[in-house]
């Protein structure tokens, strides 16, 4: 009897005091080895959840995300965005089951809201226009954050097509002051960097369509982005754009890079520097040209070939 009373007293003590994370692991380990049933279960309620509770993770996460996306308190938004991203990145085993549908539902809502704001801003005047400009920057920032989550969870492939299809958004983009619209162009550069690094894998048609829809906007806004946008890394963006362009067919590389060449001559440092991509395309086209049908070319006799630098990389990636 005295032993049982002592065990109960220990459990009551454990239930009443706070635990550090290290102590929490020890308590769970010890109590799980003891067959105490009811008393131990009450103590462990602090850290163990019912299986039915975990099935609600998607709804809880949706509520948290929606709260951040709707907030207009900038410092609080930044803090909570960093917190949520950090928690998701800790979850290497994907125990947080946030559905693809939930994230893309929020992306659709933010893009629709951004398009509405852009349309209203083109007709608004004075104070109302200024308020709409702030809304535009905030919605674009929301999309950047959602895209970061999609990339971290390796499910951003659908976003490439979604963003490539925003032709109305791209058309209205130029009518908005650059200080606000540049956040929209950052969505494009963020996506291109991820594709260029191989973090997002999608078909050639979608890659090409993104560039055709949005590259003009990136050219227009690049100077402002590198001067005014928080956390903008020029070299990373230029490298990502170059790598993405070089994944296209040669004719498409030529179209995009010849257009870049003309714009760079006009804008100089206000335009992304894609010289590396241009040099690679030039060598592929005129120096190391690969014949379309394996045969030997003209008169130079068998020439030596540069060793291939192609690398085949196997990586884990979920089916679409």
- Nearest residue to 200 via CA among 237, 240, 238, 229: 240
| Residue 121: how many other CB atoms lie within 10 Å | 22
C-alpha span between 211 and 218 (Å, rounded): 9
Q: What is the pLDDT along the chain (320 residues), one digit of tens a residue?
A: 567 677 778 877 877 888 887 888 887 777 777 666 666 666 777 776 665 555 577 788 888 999 999 998 989 999 999 998 888 777 655 555 678 898 999 999 999 999 999 998 887 766 677 788 889 999 999 999 999 999 998 999 999 999 999 999 999 998 888 888 999 999 999 999 999 999 999 999 999 999 999 999 999 999 999 998 888 999 999 999 999 999 999 999 999 999 999 999 999 999 999 999 999 999 999 987 665 544 444 444 444 444 444 444 444 545 54
**pLDDT the model gives residue 94:** 56
Q: Tell how far CA 52 is from the center of its chain.
A: 30
Q: 280: alpha, beta or left, given left = phi > 0 and alpha = psi -120 to 50?
A: alpha
C-alpha span between 180 and 112 (Å, rounded): 17
Give first-to-last CA distance, the chain, whole Å: 61
**Contacts for 222 with CB less than 8 Å, ≥ 6 apart:** 185, 267, 270, 271, 272
**pLDDT the model gives residue 49:** 64
**pLDDT the model gives residue 296:** 47
C-alpha span between 269 and 238 (Å, rounded): 12
Q: Please provide the DSSP assignment of the chain as one string.
A: -HHHHHHHHHHHHHHHS---HHHHHHHHHHHHHS---HHHHHHHTTT---HHHHTTHHHHHHHHHHHHHH---HHHHHHHHHHHHHHHHH-TT--S---HHHHHHHHHHHHHHHHHHHHHHHH--HHHHHHHHHHHHHHHHHHHHHHHHHHHTT--HHHHHHHHT-HHHHHHHTTS-HHHHHHHHHHHHHHHHHHHTTSS---HHHHHHHHHHHHHHHHHHHHHHHHHSTT--HHHHHHHHHHHHTTS-HHHHHHHHHHHHHHHHHHGGGS---HHHHHHHHIIIIISPPPSSS---STT-S---PPP------------
**pLDDT the model gives residue 21:** 79
**pLDDT the model gives residue 165:** 97
Instruction: Evaluate whether 153 touches 88 at the Cβ level (below 8 Å).
Output: yes
Give the residue extent of every domain in the chain.
2-44, 154-287
Return the sign of the alpha-carbon dihedral for residues 320, 112, 224, 274: positive
């Amino acid at each position: 009897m005295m032993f049982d009373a002592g065990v109960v007293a220990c459990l009551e003590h454990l239930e009443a005091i706070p635990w550090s994370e290290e102590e929490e692991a020890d308590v769970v380990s010890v109590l799980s080895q003891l067959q105490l049933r009811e008393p131990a279960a009450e103590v462990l309620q602090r850290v163990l959840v019912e299986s039915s509770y975990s099935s609600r993770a998607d709804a809880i996460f949706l509520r948290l995300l929606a709260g951040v996306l709707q907030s207009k308190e900038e410092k609080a938004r930044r803090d909570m965005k960093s917190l949520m991203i950090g928690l998701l990145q800790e979850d290497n085993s994907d125990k947080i089951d946030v559905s693809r549908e939930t994230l893309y539902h929020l992306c659709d809502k933010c893009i629709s809201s951004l398009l509405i704001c852009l349309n209203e801003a083109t007709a608004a005047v004075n104070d109302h226009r200024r308020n709409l400009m702030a809304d535009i920057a905030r919605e674009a920032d929301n999309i950047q954050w959602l895209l970061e989550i999609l990339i971290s969870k390796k499910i951003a492939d659908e976003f490439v097509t979604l963003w490539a299809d925003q032709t109305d958004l791209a058309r209205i983009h130029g009518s908005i002051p650059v200080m606000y619209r540049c956040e929209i162009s950052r969505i494009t550069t963020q996506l291109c960097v991820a594709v260029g690094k191989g973090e997002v894998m999608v078909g050639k048609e979608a890659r090409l369509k993104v560039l055709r829809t949005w590259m003009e906007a990136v050219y227009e806004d690049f100077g402002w982005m590198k001067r005014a946008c928080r956390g903008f890394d020029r070299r990373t963006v230029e490298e990502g754009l170059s790598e993405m362009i070089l994944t296209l067919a040669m004719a498409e590389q030529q179209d995009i890079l010849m257009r870049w060449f003309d714009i760079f001559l006009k804008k100089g440092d206000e335009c992304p520097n894609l010289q590396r991509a241009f040099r690679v395309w030039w060598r592929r086209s005129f120096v190391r040209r690969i014949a379309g049908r394996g045969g030997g070319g003209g008169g130079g006799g068998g020439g030596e070939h540069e060793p291939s630098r192609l690398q085949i990389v196997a990586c884990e990636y979920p089916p679409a």
